[in-house]
Amino acid sequence: MKKMYRGCLSCLTLLLAASLLTLPAFAAEDMWTAANRIIVDIYGKIVGISTVLAGLMSAVAVIGAKLSNNQHKVDQAWDWLKRIWIAWAVINGIGAFIAYVAPLFNGLATLTP
């Protein structure tokens, strides 16, 4: 029993020493600011990549349409070109919508005691 008491006492002493020697870590920014920064950064990269790919694939579709002798393949190339432009507009439209709507929600994600 005395050995168990000594073990528990040493564990509690170690826990107390560890809690007294640790330094508190304060975050440089709150969770919402960090999330907003990350989302803006990632979305900016997505828009940049989608713009480059939309331009590249548009060029491929136009070249495919101009060099083809088959009318069916020409129609398919123009359909793909329309799909590329629509997808690019949707991706950029999401960013514009978020940029417009996000300021309307400022102050709503706070808790007041």
Q: Convert the pLDDT of each residue in 64-95 to its tens digit.
A: 899 988 899 899 999 999 999 999 999 888 88
Q: Structural domain of residue 76, as residue ranges? A: 30-105
- The span from the CA of 75 to the CA of 95, in Å, is 31
Half-sphere exposure in the Cβ direction for 56 (13 Å, CA) = 6
The answer to whether position 92 is within a domain reads: yes
The answer to whether position 7 is within a domain reads: no
The answer to whether position 4 is within a domain reads: no
Farthest-apart Cα atoms in the chain, separation: 95
- The span from the CA of 113 to the CA of 98, in Å, is 29
The answer to whether position 44 is within a domain reads: yes
The answer to whether position 13 is within a domain reads: no
The answer to whether position 91 is within a domain reads: yes
* Count of domains observed in the chain: 1
- Lowest-confidence segment of 24-28, 47-51, 98-102 by average pLDDT: 24-28
Looking at residue 57, its amino acid is M
